[in-house]
Structure 1
Amino acid sequence: MSIPGFSPFPPIPQRSTPEADFDAKMYALFQHFATTHRNELLAFIEFLETNSTVIGAALNGTTIGLTDPAAAKFTTLEADSVGGGAVQADGGDLEGDGKLVRMDGALAAALSRGGQYRGATAEYNIDDAAPGDAGLVSVSNPGTWPPGNNGTFAWMTTQRIYSGETVLQRATFGYQSTGTPATPVTFERIRSSGGSAWSPWSKVYSQASLLGTVSESGGTPTGAVIERGSNANGEYVRFADGTQICISPDFTNLDVTETTGALYRTAAPISWTPPAGFGGAISMSGAVLSQGNSRTHWGTLRVLNSNSIDISVFAPTPATDRAVRAMVIGRWF
């Protein structure tokens, strides 16, 4: 339906110039307003009510537009909100396409969509990722990837955090096509505003990644935060900063009967190889802890090298069947 038009007004008589047909012209003018112009206004109003997509609102107290619009039109317009079936009901309403998205639902709607897939032959350089990129990316693609063998695919997100080319990029490993996914491991880095340089990748630690195998490269931690283990030589704990603590098993059935001045000692030192190697003997120190009645005996240790320690036990009087345990603190790198 085309927009209705308006016919021209009849000639308007002029009082300043007497005209013989003044009465006829005035009658025609009033007739135009009373009939023709009125009908044309009513036709235009009907056109607005039938075709307008301005919805049931009030303008200066006057309702305009449709209160019951046709299909595919907006349904309600109030003072400060839009609603109806063509509008997202709330932040969690992600069903269907072609809806007007609410501000509180824009992020949820974006994150509900699947990202792009870039397989081994995609030639997608992660160093050149554009802000807003997200998807599953094969580590066979070019670019500077996080250190270590973290998996064959990473969920990559590249998010603008300021002006220019400044972006925050995250790489999360652990994807599996079937079965229970592996524990996710996440790394992140930031690109400069000029886009010329990336920071080194930094591992994001979580409850799942605090414990594990510690490692380092050039003095920089690259593995877990804490590593704990044990074997026949005792227990150990390693920290990402290089600190290591080793505790021996109990050395029992010791005879402290060898005269040494006014004291007595074990006839020969006890040789102990710690359960985990140290980075150097110069950084090692520790103590010998007496088991049982501590007043009857005590011990000392001597570091021969980073993997060999001698333990001697002393007593003020001859003693048999004594027990001790050793602890050494040092660095593993």
Structure 2
Amino acid sequence: MTIPYVTGTVSVTAGSAVVTGSGTAWATALIAGGFFGLDSSNGNPVPILSVDSNTQLTLAKPWRGTTAAGQGYWIIRDTAYLQQQTVNAQALSTYIQRLDNAALTALAGLDPAADKFAYFTGANSGALADIKAKGRDLLSSTGVLDALLKLGPVWGGSVRSPANSDVGLVDGDLNTITVAGVYTLSGNWANTYAGAASVATTGTLVVLQRSANAVFQYFYRDNNQVFRRNTVNGGTSWTDWTIVELPVVGTASNSAGFPAGAIIERGSNANGEYVRFADGTQICWGTGTTNVSTNLNNHFGSTSGASVTGNALISFPATFSNTNYSVSVFPTFRGFTVLGAYSKNGANAAVRMGVSGSTANDVPYEWSAYGRWF
């Protein structure tokens, strides 16, 4: 006895031969024909003319009942003249032929195991690879945002060089690194903060891309310096590198001519006080006392009279980078004069002073010096 096919529900329209299914699989079930009817008393059983798809069939006669939707139904397959058996045999033959396939043979040779998935290594070969829970979780993402949420802290490992990041980049020239990402730099690179020439460079490069043309580069040196620049034409030309994130007050330092520390450094020691600026400017000042006891007659002119002189060695609280600095001495003693600095180096300056008269004295003075620390 034929078992009725009753999967899903149907909709019928009065006077129409077309039946629409929902949740049905008429073609897949190999229904070749038969009789169609509703579970209700609406209409009479009607022969099936054709099965058009899994969700549509055509009746041999228009539906004689009323229009109805979401109805339970039944189909009795037609087994007369071996029609159904012939269709089944043809389908079975087709399926068997499909099984005689090198790709299926390759998969059949694999041994399934937990946390593994199959993939093809060639036209007729396959293999298994790991797919852990996190990988399956990522594959189930509904979009980029969902994937990022599943990734969590994505900066968990070391970054790669541009050439090894699988984004089509080549190492050696920062002007060509325009793909957004984080990269490690080592070896020789051109167009760095040090200039256009190729020089040894070590650090981390962050590239931000607002559009195909608008790209920002941030370079983090291993000595805590941070530089940035940008292009608005996709890398054809770039702005100059500028240093960022300098503290206002702290220890001033420089590397390759670029500030590497604070903007202002203020300090003092036994020699006096000083201030250094990030642009290289240095100012030192202090006080001192020197003994003037060497008699020197008429050194201010033929009628100036006697005077006594002495030398003062002014040691700076911070060293100047060269001798192109200016040192000034200010007397706090009447009749005092400065004859000039006769010897200078980065750490100190020797100054000769004089006082009118012939009596030896300890002379107090104030001094200041202006120059550069790099």
Q: So what's the TM-score if we normalise by structure 2? A: 0.47
Contact kept in structure 2, 1:242 and 1:332, CA below 8 Å: yes
Specify whether residues 111 and 128 from structure 1 end up closer, same or farther in structure 2 by C-alpha distance, changes over 3 A only.
farther
Structure 2 residue 192 is matched with structure 1 residue 145 = yes
- Residue pairs, 1:48-197, within 5 angstroms: 97=138, 98=140, 112-114=153-155, 117-119=159-161, 122=164, 123-125=170-172, 126-135=174-183, 137-140=184-187, 142-147=189-194, 153-161=202-210, 163-174=211-222, 184-197=224-237
Q: CA separation in 1, counterparts of 2:148 and 2:271?
A: 55
- Match of 1:155, as an amino acid? T
Structure with bigger gyration radius: 2
Q: Pick the structure with more strand per residue.
A: 2
- Decide whether the 8 Å contact of 1:263 with 1:314 is kept in 2: no
| 1:205 aligns with one of 241, 245, 249 | 245
Distance 1:267 1:237 in 2: 31
Aligned partner of 1:276 in structure 2 is 319
Q: Distance in 1 between matches of 2:305 and 2:279?
A: 41
Shift of 1:258: 6.5
Candidates 10, 13, 32, aligned match of 1:9? 13
Task: Sort the Cα spacing of 1:40 and 1:116 in 2 relative to 1 into closer, same or farther, 3 A.
Answer: farther
Unaligned residue ranges in structure 2 (runs of 5+):
1-5, 17-41, 45-62, 74-136, 165-169
* Structure 2 Cα separation of the partners of residues 276 and 256 of structure 1: 30
Q: Percent identity?
A: 21
2:271 matches 1:250: no
8 Å CA contact 1:287–1:301 kept in 2: the answer is no
1:218-242: CA deviation from partner (whole Å, max 9, x where unpaired): xxx5554446678887654433334
In 1: Cα distance, 2:151 partner to 2:293 partner:
75
How large is the Cα RMSD of the aligned pairs? Answer: 5.0
The alignment covers a number of residue pairs equal to: 243
Alpha-carbon contact 1:301-1:309 (below 8 Å) kept:
no
* Residue 312 in structure 1 maps to residue 356 in structure 2: no
* Secondary structure of the structure 1 residue equivalent to 2:159: strand
**Change in CA separation of 1:100 and 1:234 when aligned onto 2, cut-off 3 Å:** same
Q: Secondary structure at the match of 1:211?
A: coil
Q: Distance in 2 between matches of 1:201 and 1:211?
A: 22
Q: Which residue is 2:71 aligned to?
A: 39
Query: How far off its partner does 1:259 sit?
Result: 6.9
Summarize the alignment of residues 19-34 of structure 1 with structure 2, pairs less than 5 Å apart. 32-33=66-67
Structure 1 residues 143 and 259, CA, compared in 2 at 3 Å: closer, same or farther?
Answer: closer
Shift of 1:205: 3.4
Q: How has the CA–CA distance of structure 1 residues 27 and 332 changed in structure 2, closer, same or farther, with 3 Å as cutoff?
A: closer
1:111, CA displacement in angstroms?
8.7
Contact 2:185–2:201 under 8 Å retained in 1: yes
The aligned counterpart of 1:323 is 364
Measured after TM superposition, the shift of residue 315 of structure 1 is 6.5
Residue 310 of structure 2 aligns to a residue whose secondary structure is: coil
Distance across 1 between alignment mates of 2:260 and 2:279: 11
Q: TM-score, normalised by structure 1?
A: 0.51
Structure 1 residues 285 and 207: CA distance shift in structure 2, 3 A: same
Q: Secondary structure at the match of 1:269?
A: strand
Unaligned runs of 5+ in 1: 13-25, 42-95, 175-182
Q: Give CA-to-partner distance per residue, 1:83-106, whole Å, 9 cap, x none.
A: xxxxxxxxxxxxx74556798x99
